[in-house]
Amino acid sequence: QQPPLRIALIGPMSGTGAFEGQLGLEGAQAMAAVINANGGIAGGRKLELLTYDDKGSPEDGVSAAKRAMEQDNVDMIVGGWFSAVALSMKEVTRDKIITVMTSSQHPKVTEEGHKYLFRLNATSAMMSEFYSKAICERIKPKSIAFINVNDDWGRLELENYTKLLTGCGIEVKGHEFYNRTDTDFTTALTKLKSLNADAIYVAAINTSQGATIYRQIKQTGYRGKVIASAGNMNPKLVELSGNSLEQVYSASPFTEDGSAPSLKPWLEQYRKSYKNEPSFIAALGAQAVQAIAFGVEAAGGDPRAYDKIAAALKSQEVPTVMGDLRFSDKGQANQAIHLVQIQKKQIVSVRD
Amino acid sequence: MDFTVFAQQIANGLVNGMAYVLIATGLTLVFGVLRIVNFAHGEFYMLGAYITYFIGTLLGLDYIAAAAIAAIVVAGLGIAANKLIFWPLRRDHEFTILLSSLGLALLIANGGELLFGADPKYIESPFADEVLDIGTVTLTEQRVLVFAAAVVALVAVYLFIRYSRFGKMMRATAQNPNGAALTGINIKLVHAYTFALACGLAALSGALVGPTVMIFPTIGNWAVLKGFIVVIMGGLGSVTGALFAGLLLGVIESLGGGYISLGFMEAIGYAMIIAVLLWRPNGLFSTARGLR
Amino acid sequence: MLKVEGLKVSYGHREAVHNVSLTVEEGELVTLVGSNGAGKTTTLKAISSLLRPSGGTITFDGERIDRMAPHQVIERGLVHVPEGRQLFPDMTVLEHLELGALRGRPGSMGFAERLRWVYDLFPILAERRTQRAGTMSGGQQQLVAFGRGLMANPKCLMLDEPTLGLAPIIVDTLADTIKSLHKSGITVLLVEQRVDLALRLADRAYVLETGRVVMEDSAQTLLADPRIKTAYLGL
Amino acid sequence: MNINSNGQTLAIAAGLAALAVLPFLSGNAYLEHLLVLWMLYALLALSLNIVIGYLGELTFGHAAFVGVGAYTSAILSTQFGLPPLLGLPLAALVAASFGLVIGYAALRVVGPQFAILTLGFGAILFTITNHWVDLTRGPMGITDIPPMAIGPLTFTAARETYYLVLALVLATAWLCHALVTSRTGRAFLAVRENAPLAASLGINVFHTKLLGFVAATAIAGIGGAIYAHYIRVITPDIMGVHNVAALIIVVIIGGRGTILGPILGALVYIGLLESLRVAGPLRMVIFAALLTGTVVFLPGGLVSLWQRWRTSRKPEAIQPAAATSYPSAEGGAK
Amino acid sequence: MNPAGQEILSVSNLTRIFGGLTAVRDVTMSVQAGEVVGLIGPNGAGKTTLFNMLGGSLPPSSGSVRFDGTDCTGAPSHVMGQRGVSRTFQITSLFPSLTALDNVRSAAYRTTRAGWGAAILRSAAYRREEEELRRKALEILAFCDLDHRADTLADAMSYGEQRRLEIAIALAAEPRLLLLDEPAAGMNPEEGQRLVEMIRRIRARGVTVLLVEHHMRVVASVCDRLVVLDHGVKIAEGPPAQVLNDPEVIRVYLGREPVDA
Ligand SMILES: Nc1ncnc2c1ncn2[C@@H]1O[C@H](COP(=O)(O)OP(=O)(O)OP(=O)(O)O)[C@@H](O)[C@H]1O
Ligand SMILES: Nc1ncnc2c1ncn2[C@@H]1O[C@H](COP(=O)(O)OP(=O)(O)OP(=O)(O)O)[C@@H](O)[C@H]1O
Ligand SMILES: [Mg+2]
Ligand SMILES: [Mg+2]
């Protein structure tokens, strides 16, 4: 019997990001269960997940990474749900241990290209490239206004989409930034409504803030279109938003009706173990586990052969729940993105 | 900007302000009357919201009944918290009591997260999505309800403290517990009732404000801070003060956010508080405690 | 009526009152004499349940009261006018008097009557009924405390230095009041630093030294006692 | 607080020796990291204790000054290439200047009003940090902060940093000890205990408080700068209310108004949170329950355990009885 | 120190109004250095209010206060303290959770010099001063009959002891003018006699004393001169024997209390 492959899962388990952290953890655990049930990797090695709470704060993220490496002596690290945490954590783990960053979209994470660092989520630029086309060609509003969270991502979104959408003739009427701690958005939405834009684009990461915004858009009496930012649609959000998300579009690398072979067993396992619905964030968790398992397998089963593992990941296609992944030399994954829409409170992918 | 938007922002501010007032009302009781800085007040607010939610979804009771039950249950919890923590510590230094309430807040918030789950929830209310058009202003019925309930709660508490026998006993206990005991006041009972009332009100605020937003286990943090600000700015123990302070804060935030900068909305609110306190150190409606 | 037996009271590890026994019969006026720190206040606080005794028993009207809460003691008609006034600084004079009557024994006089009685005794209270107690002068505050105690319609009144801070002329009024209260049948336990005055008013007296009763006799005898004269009267 | 008894001198010497060898006993880099966190918290708690313990005022703004110090040194070293060592005094200076201005305004009021004013100023500093993207990089924070260096010695590893912060903690402890045994410190206590009486004795209450507040903010600034160079990333979160709460917990649970208290409190805070990891999801619940329980059963903080033990052996020493410590209604003290 | 007989305090037309109530009205009086002056009058006459204005804790509505030749009208409390005016408060006021010794040491702020910096460096001057201060504080405690209570918390003392500690605190500031507000309250006649002795010794140290007191034996035996207030107005002034026999003073203030002056 070989010792298990120990993976540290560092994410927000408490505080404002706790729900997103929980989804990611569930996704990873469901995938680990699937792999273990199939006999593990590299000839019977099981996966063991250790969880660490970064509370969404860089300090705790650094502490957690140190603890995972120095105290618990783990083989791999999965983390980086929030960009700020990802950026500080990578300074501690760089060149020391294979680290898979998950949902952070910040370009700086993979800018330098540390040799053991990988990031799964598409960057802002990749997402907007795809989504703006869909907006221009399918949704076709004449004018648009933005409500974005005030952080690098939210600012980047505004910048990208303003450029891309103006490019296809959509008039940008204005924007508002809200704080990560806000709970009420009526003031901002009152301003946006008065702009009389054809559509309002909502860039919200946090599920509860998102749901509040979608509900309050309707409650202010706005009757135009609503467009949800890419990568931030999940079943919980749909449930919480009531009718206010009906017909709203979003973009996501994850759809339940995908064709990857590993998708179905994972979905089943997930549904069996957890009461949440499978979501993009959960899929990122699963993907991280799959990437690691694949790398170790490809490197011959030694979880500490970091150079080999990294080389394997960068040179081969990694099969995951969201299809086959290809990592760039700097460790950035290239995800396929799909257009989705909420129809009768279901997230369905829109295929032409 | 045009008048419609301005009127709408004022209305938004008034409703938000009233929500602050509603939260502050219970705080005024324990803080203004018993001089206990109760950081756990926000958690009772959170509990109120969650209990309303669970009674609604699990027992299927309607919203109003659920809110009433939540208020009663949380009032009971308030009595328990008083018995276990605040009553035994009543003679200790104010900072000690403050820390105990901080500990209680952490306990309830984390316990809540464990018990209720980290996922946000939404309290279904029949009034939440019903939109009323009042002149050029658009408000949901829920928001109107928050406003009305706050007015009622505030007037009731004011009359209670000012004129009821029990209110007098509360004030006496606050100002000199030993003297109160020697006057024949059952100060233990006064403490218990005060907490019951305050926590019940906190829960009611949670139940009422809940459907205007989402609820999650850390909403208490926000609530308790706003509550404190309103209590202090209004003047310790002054209910009228709390009303004005809450409305002022709500309107300034909404106008500041609407016309200056949304990102600085809270900071603008704080700037106003600082200005008010520097101008009137004991708050807007302080019962000036002689000259020092 | 009031019987204290083997009373012990400690602050932390330090015992301030050791084995004090005293009795006050119905209708008596008894005084407790002792220098600073002798334990007079501590004894009274123990009787009115502000402090929990670490030993001994206290009975009032045949009923054990040493395990009761202060408000229960007052309901039985044993009222304590404390040292240091213990007022509510932001409440008005009238509110103090109302609170005083709140838990008092129901008696022959109604609230309004009693209020008039107290106002007659101390006209300044009537004049200042809406003033906040915290802004009154020291002597005025003392009267508020006394008035508040009277409003409870006491059967037995414990007074801890009631003349503290009072002008001589008011001291006279107060002494007359105590005398007439006593005449009207109210039992009084008096602690007073104006020892001469106290002994002249009292029937009997106990002398307390460092937490122990060292003498006990009729007030007249003690007033003449040379030890008392030098130790307490400064003669 | 005299160090005249032999037993006490011995205890202090033993304590210092233990602190000096601690990193060698841990044998694990992560534990050393925890030791650094302990010392950092101890340093910040000692500074907060000057306001809470000695001046008797509650401040909710302390984390903001920690943040100002951290950002000052971080910005100077990343954008202007200033050596981190120079950043330390500058961080102290800038934090103290903020402390001076804010204290000058806020110290006009006392009690809960002061607490709310500091909360307000703290929140405004937070908002500015969060939005002045050009200077602070806003919510994303500053990354790649160089490690602290003194000459050729760079403090990248936890062990070296531990000794650096330990030295600062000891210096601050000495500062506090000197304070309470000096005329200035006795004025602090007088102001805390009874401001009107203190004033009647010639003590300028406002200046005394301002001095204490500024000193506390200067030390907080240094603590923040060290933190920035150690963790090497900072975000506006450092100024958040939860950090204030953590520091208040440390000071009061240890024992406010003492020197050992904040240091012990920090140890318990860090140690407990760490050892409770075994409890999994129950961790914070157990922590909060222990915290609340400790407050209820040990209202004077951890150091009061020692005082209790001493009084139980020396019955003459008098403690105020719980039963009579209500401040008198009209008394000048509070 | 001022040579005896020189005017140290002069108050002219001092008035203080609270809302509709004139607590002190147009009071003019002066105190010579080295004197012990008694300030008496019925409850609510305005004695404490007058003290508050002299001590700087209450600004006067009108009128002026001169201390030692400089105009101090409306000067804040700490300035008066620094100039050498110390006071006790009618309602007990001390540093409750400090020991008696520390109460006195804290009170010696005005007379000490070595501050925080010196303490950090443990300079020789600092150590000398601390030693001296400790000795002086113990001496003051002994002077007030409290040396056996040096390590007791102020909070844990009986009322009478607290009153004496207040005097010790005021003395520690080495005042030139000492304002005592009812120091004998809570003392029995014998203790009152001891207080008289104490005040005499304070005076012998060169301190001028202004005394508010309702215990006529104390007042009569220690004061050189009395000033009587009633309803905020000065109604009499003069040597004790004369003032205490003034029929108006007897009518409004003394009643029938026997006085052996
Ligand atoms: N809160 C307290 N904590 C500790 N000891 C106390 C406390 N209050 C009083 N004592 C001590 O108990 C003893 C008795 O005090 P008590 O107040 O009963 O005296 P007293 O006879 O009323 O004196 P006085 O005439 O000065 O009022 C004193 O030695 C005092 O120091
Ligand atoms: N802050 C205040 N607000 C209103 N009235 C006040 C205030 N302070 C004092 N007074 C009133 O001023 C008058 C004078 O009070 P003061 O305390 O000076 O009297 P006093 O001569 O010291 O009396 P006592 O001998 O009883 O101590 C009193 O009638 C009192 O009620
Ligand atoms: Mg006494
Ligand atoms: Mg007076």
Task: Provide the pLDDT confidence category of residue E227 given band limits of 50, 70 and 90.
Answer: very high
- CA E84/CA E174 separation, integer angstroms: 7
Ligand 1 pocket test, candidate residues C17, C33, C42, most atoms within 8 A of CB: C42
Task: Provide the pLDDT confidence category of residue D9 given band limits of 50, 70 and 90.
Answer: confident
Task: Provide the pLDDT confidence category of residue E257 given band limits of 50, 70 and 90.
Answer: low
Does E162 have pLDDT greater than 80? Answer: yes
CB A148 within 8 A of CB A155: yes
**Interface contact flag, E186 C164, Cβ < 8 Å:** yes
Residue with structure tokens 């220690």?
A: E222
Q: Which residue in E43, E189, E256 is closest to C139 by CB distance? A: E43
CB E183 within 8 A of CB E195: yes
Residues paired with residue E38 on neighbouring β-strands, in sequence order: E211, E226
| C5 CA from centroid of ligand 3 (Å) | 20
Confidence at residue B4, expressed as pLDDT on a 0 to 100 scale: 84
More confident residue, B283 or C196: C196
Same domain, E30 and E70: yes
Task: Provide the pLDDT confidence category of residue B292 given band limits of 50, 70 and 90.
Answer: very low
Give the total number of structural domains in chain C.
Answer: 1
**Interface contact flag, D323 C10, Cβ < 8 Å:** no
Ligand nearest to the CA of E54: 2
Picking from A155, A176, A265, C137, the residue whose alpha carbon sits closest to that of residue E230 is: C137
How do the domains of chain D map onto residue ranges? 26-239
- Please, do chains A and C touch (3+ CB pairs < 8 Å)? no
**Interface contact flag, C13 D315, Cβ < 8 Å:** yes
Q: Is C135 on the interface with E (CB under 8 A)?
A: yes
Tell me the mean pLDDT in the region D313-318. Answer: 44
Q: Which residue in A179, A187, A221 is closest to B12 by CB distance? A: A187
Strands of chain E (E only): list them.
7-18, 21-32, 36-40, 62-67, 70-71, 85-87, 177-181, 208-212, 225-230, 233-238
Find the helix or strand (DSSP H, E) in which A69 lies: none
B124: containing domain: 19-217
Domain membership of residue E90 (yes or no) is no
Confidence at residue B162, expressed as pLDDT on a 0 to 100 scale: 80
Give the closest residue (by CA) to ligand 1 atom 6: E156
Where helices occur in chain C by DSSP H, the ranges are 40-47, 70-75, 93-102, 111-121, 123-127, 138-151, 168-183, 195-201, 219-224, 226-228
Q: Which of A127-136, A201-210, B254-263, D161-170 has the lowest mean pLDDT?
A: B254-263
CB E222 within 8 A of CB E196: yes
| C38 CA from centroid of ligand 1 (Å) | 7
Q: What totals of helices (H) and strands (E) does chain A contain, helices first?
A: 12, 14
CB B41 within 8 A of CB B227: yes
3-state secondary structure of E221: helix
| E54 CA from centroid of ligand 2 (Å) | 15
ipTM, 2 decimals? Answer: 0.90
Assigned token pair, C225: 């006692």
- CA A347/CA E70 separation, integer angstroms: 85
> Ligand 2: does its nearest atom lie under 6 Å from the Cβ of C55?
no
Residues with CB under 5 A from ligand 4 (ion): C 137-138; E 48, 90
Per-residue pLDDT of A167-198, as tens digits, reads 988 999 999 998 888 888 999 999 899 898 99
Same domain, E67 and E112: no
Domain membership of residue B88 (yes or no) is yes
Assigned token pair, E110: 């005005």
Provide long-range contacts, Cβ within 8 A and 24+ apart, for A193-198. A193/A220, A193/A221, A193/A222, A194/B1, A194/B2, A194/B4, A194/B5, A195/A145, A196/A143, A197/A141, A197/A143, A197/A144, A197/A145, A197/A171, A197/A173, A197/A224, A198/A141, A198/A142, A198/A143, A198/A144, A198/A224, A198/A225
Same domain, E168 and E197: no
Angle subtended at Cα C178 by Cα C174 and Cα C181, rounded to the nearest 5 degrees: 135
- Provide the sign of the torsion angle of the four alpha carbons E199, E200, E206, E210, taken in this order: positive
Ligand nearest to the CA of E23: 2
Strands of chain A (E only): list them.
5-11, 47-53, 76-79, 98-101, 117-119, 143-149, 171-178, 199-203, 225-228, 249-252, 318-320, 323-325, 338-343, 346-349
**Interface contact flag, B118 A211, Cβ < 8 Å:** no
Give the closest residue (by CA) to ligand 1 atom 4: E156
Task: Provide the pLDDT confidence category of residue B286 given band limits of 50, 70 and 90.
Answer: low
Q: Is B91 on the interface with C (CB under 8 A)?
A: no
D127: amino acid identity, one letter: T
Same domain, E220 and E256: yes
**Interface contact flag, B182 C50, Cβ < 8 Å:** yes
Does E2 have pLDDT greater than 70? Answer: no
Domain membership of residue E121 (yes or no) is yes
Same domain, E165 and E202: no
Determine the distance from the C-alpha atom of residue C56 to the mean position of all C-alpha atoms in its chain, rounded to a whole number: 21
Per-residue pLDDT of D242-262, as tens digits, reads 889 999 999 999 999 999 999
- CA D174/CA D171 separation, integer angstroms: 5
Does B174 have pLDDT greater than 90? Answer: no
Q: How far is CA D164 from CA D21, D30, D44, D50, D124, in A?
A: 14, 17, 14, 22, 32
Confidence at residue B133, expressed as pLDDT on a 0 to 100 scale: 83
Per-residue pLDDT of C35-90, as tens digits, reads 888 999 999 999 999 999 999 999 999 999 999 999 999 989 999 999 888 999 98
Q: Percentage helix, strand, coil, to 5, in chain E?
A: 40, 25, 35
Does C109 have pLDDT greater than 80? Answer: no
For ligand 1, residues with CB inside 6 Å are C 11, 16, 34, 36-42; D 318, 320-321, 324; E 155-161, 186
More confident residue, D56 or D22: D56
Dihedral (Cα; A36, A37, A42, A46), 10-degree rounding: 30
Instruction: Read off the pTM.
Output: 0.91
B291 Cα to chain E: minimum distance (Å)? 7
Tell me the mean pLDDT in the region A318-337. Answer: 89
B210 Cα to chain D: minimum distance (Å)? 23
Q: Percentage helix, strand, coil, to 5, in chain B?
A: 75, 5, 25
Per-residue pLDDT of E73-130, as tens digits, reads 999 999 999 999 999 998 889 999 999 999 999 999 998 888 898 889 888 999 999 9
CB B37 within 8 A of CB B236: no
Does D324 have pLDDT greater than 60? Answer: no
A260: amino acid identity, one letter: A
Same domain, E3 and E17: yes
Residues of E in contact with D332 (CB under 8 A): 89, 91-93
Q: Is B179 on the interface with D (CB under 8 A)?
A: yes
CB D318 within 8 A of CB E152: yes
Per-residue pLDDT of D208-234, as tens digits, reads 999 999 999 999 999 999 999 998 888
Give the total number of structural domains in chain B.
Answer: 1
> Ligand 2: does its nearest atom lie under 6 Å from the Cβ of E86?
no
Q: What count of residues does chain C have?
A: 235
Buried b / exposed e across A142-174, counting CB within 10 Å, b at 16+?
Answer: ebbbbbbbbbbbbbbbbebbbebbeeeebebbe
Tell me the mean pLDDT in the region C147-155. Answer: 92
The region, left, alpha or beta by phi > 0 then psi within -120 to 50, assigned to residue C86 is: left
Confidence at residue D262, expressed as pLDDT on a 0 to 100 scale: 95
Q: Which residue of E has its CA nearest to B93?
A: E97
Q: Which residue of E has its CA nearest to C38?
A: E158
Confidence at residue D151, expressed as pLDDT on a 0 to 100 scale: 81
Does C147 have pLDDT greater than 80? Answer: yes
Confidence at residue D241, expressed as pLDDT on a 0 to 100 scale: 84
Q: Is A194 on the interface with B (CB under 8 A)?
A: yes
Residues of E in contact with B292 (CB under 8 A): 57
Assigned token pair, D173: 């402890």
Name which of C52, C74, C142, C146 to mutate to probe chain B: the one with the most chain B Cβ atoms within 10 A of its Cβ.
C74
- CA D62/CA D241 separation, integer angstroms: 9
CB B205 within 8 A of CB B51: no
Tell me the mean pLDDT in the region A106-116. Answer: 83
| E160 CA from centroid of ligand 1 (Å) | 9
Same domain, E132 and E114: yes
- Boundary-marking domain end, from E128, E143, E174: E174
Q: Is B290 on the interface with E (CB under 8 A)?
A: no
Q: What totals of helices (H) and strands (E) does chain B contain, helices first?
A: 11, 2
Per-residue pLDDT of B177-233, as tens digits, reads 889 999 999 999 999 999 999 999 999 999 999 999 999 888 888 888 888 889 888
Residue C39: CB atoms within 10 Å? 24
Ligand 2 pocket test, candidate residues C92, C137, C144, C169, most atoms within 8 A of CB: C137
> Ligand 2: does its nearest atom lie under 6 Å from the Cβ of C134?
no
Same domain, E71 and E109: no
Domain membership of residue B74 (yes or no) is yes
Q: Which of A36-45, A47-56, C2-11, E28-37 has the lowest mean pLDDT?
A: A36-45
Chains that touch A (3 or more CB pairs under 8 A): B, D
| A211 CA from centroid of ligand 4 (Å) | 65
> Ligand 2: does its nearest atom lie under 6 Å from the Cβ of E90?
yes
- CA A290/CA A269 separation, integer angstroms: 15
| C141 CA from centroid of ligand 2 (Å) | 10
E140: containing domain: 97-174
More confident residue, E228 or A137: E228
Q: Is B292 on the interface with E (CB under 8 A)?
A: yes
- Boundary-marking domain end, from E141, E174, E207: E174
Tell me the mean pLDDT in the region A25-46. Answer: 90
Same domain, E158 and E200: no
Confidence at residue B291, expressed as pLDDT on a 0 to 100 scale: 24
CB E163 within 8 A of CB E92: yes
Task: Provide the pLDDT confidence category of residue E3 given band limits of 50, 70 and 90.
Answer: low
Q: What totals of helices (H) and strands (E) does chain C contain, helices first?
A: 10, 10
User: What count of CB pairs under 8 Å joins D to E?
Assistant: 129
Tell me the mean pLDDT in the region E118-144. Answer: 92
| E90 CA from centroid of ligand 1 (Å) | 19
Q: Percentage helix, strand, coil, to 5, in chain A?
A: 45, 20, 35
- CA C37/CA C30 separation, integer angstroms: 20
Give the total number of structural domains in chain E.
Answer: 2
Residue with structure tokens 């006018």?
A: C81
| D198 CA from centroid of ligand 2 (Å) | 22
Confidence at residue C221, expressed as pLDDT on a 0 to 100 scale: 92
The region, left, alpha or beta by phi > 0 then psi within -120 to 50, assigned to residue A224 is: beta
Does B270 have pLDDT greater than 50? Answer: yes
CATH of the domain at C200: 3.40.50.300
3-state secondary structure of D136: helix
More confident residue, B281 or E81: E81
- CA E150/CA E137 separation, integer angstroms: 9
3-state secondary structure of E198: helix
Find the helix or strand (DSSP H, E) in which D3 lies: none
Q: Which residue of D has its CA nearest to C41?
A: D324
Does D95 have pLDDT greater than 60? Answer: yes
Tell me the mean pLDDT in the region A27-39. Answer: 92
* Local structure of residue A45 (DSSP, 8 states): B
C133: containing domain: 2-233
